[in-house]
A and B are shown apart, each in its own frame.
Chain A
Amino acid sequence: MKKGRLFNKGFLKKKITAVIFFAVVVVLCIIFFSPFLIMLTTAFKTNKDAFTLPVQLLPRKLVFQNFPKAIQTIPYWKYMGNTVFITLFSVLGQLIVTPMVAYSLAKIKWRGSKIISGLLLATMMIPFTVTMIPLYRIYSKLHLTNTYVPLILPNFFGKAFYIIVVRQFFAGVPNSIMEASRIDGANELQRYVFIALPLCRPALVTVGIYAFLDAWSDYLAPLIYISNPSKLTLSLGLQQFLSQYTVDWSLLMAASLIFVIPVIVFFLFFQRYFVQGIATSGLKA
């Protein structure tokens, strides 16, 4: 009898904490999701609907014209094409160089690897504003502003953060495997291409996703280097909606939505690698 009551009390307490926890989660989810919701619903409103009081979340009348209109207001497909072009080559560059450097630091025993690992971390602390002006000067002297070279080329030199993520991954590859192939007569390049690279495929996917997101949403580099209107990227193109006196928010939100959707789809596809990459790199660095 007594035992039964105790059980009930504990059960009730558990139930109450569960309900409170559930409520907190729901509220947090609403807060974190609301900007997406607002982008989505505003994109389907008429501009008049967006500016009515009291504000209503859902459009009074679903309109689809915002999307074709947004695409005509700025040369949307042109900008999208430029963005895709830059993104593809940036990802390619990072995927070629990052594992090479990471392999050198994790799996080849040489004196320089320690120095380079230290410098790698140090470069993450250099503010972009310090290097911005000299870099701009170099590219402008070489007549490379208004081309995509300044946006793509740096990706072929590797980026500290990506290298650290992949190095961590290589470090987990057992040395015995590398040794065995050394005895079998494989040289360094063969060991890298045929053994190490295939093993680190998940890390490469992670780097690919990061590089994709970075290039897709890059804003500062195109802002500095690109002024020719036909060569702008989407992130700069969106800004053009703001340069008018009154902003048509439903158009802007429609344009933003088309810009954001590839990113979200990409993310949902590769979510697993993302979580893995961030969690491991954040813990050990």
Chain B
Amino acid sequence: MQKILLSNSARNTRNGFLFALPWIIGFICLSIYPLAASFYYGFTEFNPVTAPKWVGLANYTAVLNDKLVYKSLMNTLFMAFVSTPVNLLVALLLATVVTRKFRQRGFVRTIFFLPCIIPTIAATMVWIWMFDASYGYINNVLGWFGIHGPAWLMDMRYTKPALLLMGSWSTGTAMLVCMAALEEVPISYYESAEIDGVGPLSRFFHITLPSIAHVLVYQAILNFINAFQYFQQVYIITNASTGAGAGAGYASGGPGNSILMYPLYIFHNAFSFLKMGRASAMAWLLFIVVSLLTMVMIKVTKRATQNAGVE
């Protein structure tokens, strides 16, 4: 009997391992090896055709003396810390709308979610066109209200608001998650609060918000991590304004480098300047910053949700 049980657990281990094997191989080849290699490359100098040559800390000192590194890091931090609350607020607003029961609800939800599935390249193209200073629709709509709109993507003061606008257009995924959370809040809470004469605003802050806090936190962390990977949109926008040929030796970061995001600068270092060692050093710095910030964020929000009495 004992023997059979033992062999059962051994068989389970073998089966489990075999079923998970594709992912394990992928994990080693696509995550662990590249992480280690990237760390090593940070201390070397090479381009796509040469072999890595050990240069010690030269890349790191070069990176720390590069003004554009700080600029791009600040731009990225801005996106992380500003886009996260903005996107969450928009998602929450949309979710509140589609949680109400009305006849066209499914249709409205589709409209709100649709932007999320549009390929980024196509979405970014339309937005570039909409942001056009004189022929764009946004400035024309603003014109109806007597507002003279800025040259959005050409004006360094307005490039980041433009990115925020683009980002909040595609918060459909967060909306769906918030919606599912909102629908799980027991209606009896609201009913008893209403009987006690609690106003709608205070109902929102005392019932709704605490009940869905864990979901909001999860979405915030996801958004935060994504903000550090913000690349495609700025790559397309900056390429559009400088022409695709301007790649070699020149990092295009929009007007005044105002939308030169850290990943974009890494990409330019690697594939435009062909400084792959330096790009690896930059990438590792990013990895450290993201891991630290994410851990802090998980810790802080955990305490916050516990204080709010959730879970």
Q: Chain A contact residues (Cβ within 8 angstroms of B): what range?
A: 35 or more
Is A278 in contact with B176, judged by CB distance below 8 angstroms?
Answer: yes
List, in ascending order, chain A residues with CB within 8 A of B284's CB. 130
Is B263 in contact with A188, judged by CB distance below 8 angstroms?
Answer: no
B24 within 8 A of A: yes
Contact with B along A84-125 (1 / 0, CB 8 A): 000000000000010011011100111111001001100111
For residue B167, give the distance in angstroms from its CB to the closest CB of chain A.
13
List, in ascending order, chain B residues with CB within 8 A of A110's CB. 9, 12-13, 15-17
List, in ascending order, chain B residues with CB within 8 A of A127's CB. 228-229, 263, 283, 286-287, 290
List, in ascending order, chain A residues with CB within 8 A of B34's CB. 130-131, 133-135
Is A130 in contact with B20, judged by CB distance below 8 angstroms?
Answer: no
Is B38 in contact with A130, judged by CB distance below 8 angstroms?
Answer: yes
Work out how many contacts link A and B, with CB atoms closer than 8 A.
262
Is B215 in contact with A283, judged by CB distance below 8 angstroms?
Answer: yes
Chain A residue nearest in CB terms to B97? A25
Is B140 in contact with A129, judged by CB distance below 8 angstroms?
Answer: no
List, in ascending order, chain B residues with CB within 8 A of A239's CB. 121, 236, 239, 244
| Distance between Cα atoms of A245 and B270 in the complex (Å) | 26
- Residues 11-25 (chain A) with a chain B CB within 8 angstroms: 21, 24-25
Interface-facing stretch out of B55-63, B80-88, B106-114, B150-158: B106-114
Q: Secondary structure at chain A's binding surface: helix, strand, loop or mixed?
A: helix
Q: Chain B contact residues (Cβ within 8 angstroms of A): what range?
A: 35 or more
B164 within 8 A of A: no
| Distance between Cα atoms of A224 and B137 in the complex (Å) | 33
Is B48 in contact with A140, judged by CB distance below 8 angstroms?
Answer: yes
For residue B53, give the distance in angstroms from its CB to the closest CB of chain A.
14
Is A245 in contact with B12, judged by CB distance below 8 angstroms?
Answer: no
A163 within 8 A of B: yes
B256 within 8 A of A: no
| Distance between Cα atoms of A267 and B258 in the complex (Å) | 35
| Distance between Cα atoms of A239 and B276 in the complex (Å) | 25
A35-B169, A283-B177 provided; 18 other pairs, C-beta below 8 A? Answer: A25-B97, A32-B169, A33-B111, A35-B126, A101-B20, A104-B16, A126-B287, A129-B267, A129-B283, A133-B41, A137-B48, A156-B26, A192-B19, A260-B119, A264-B118, A274-B113, A275-B109, A279-B176
The list of the 8 closest CB pairs from A to B, nearest first, reads A157-B26, A217-B119, A282-B177, A110-B16, A104-B19, A279-B180, A131-B34, A134-B37
What residues make up the interface of A, taking CB atoms closer than 8 Å to B?
Answer: 21, 24-25, 28-29, 32-36, 38-39, 42, 50-51, 53-55, 57, 97, 100-101, 103-105, 108-113, 116, 119-120, 123-137, 140, 154, 156-158, 163, 188, 192, 213, 216-217, 219-220, 223-224, 235, 238-239, 241-243, 245, 247, 249, 252-253, 256, 259-260, 263-264, 267-268, 271, 274-275, 278-280, 282-283, 285
Chain A to chain B contacts (Cβ below 8 Å), 8 pairs: A38-B130, A38-B137, A110-B17, A130-B34, A140-B48, A238-B121, A275-B176, A280-B180
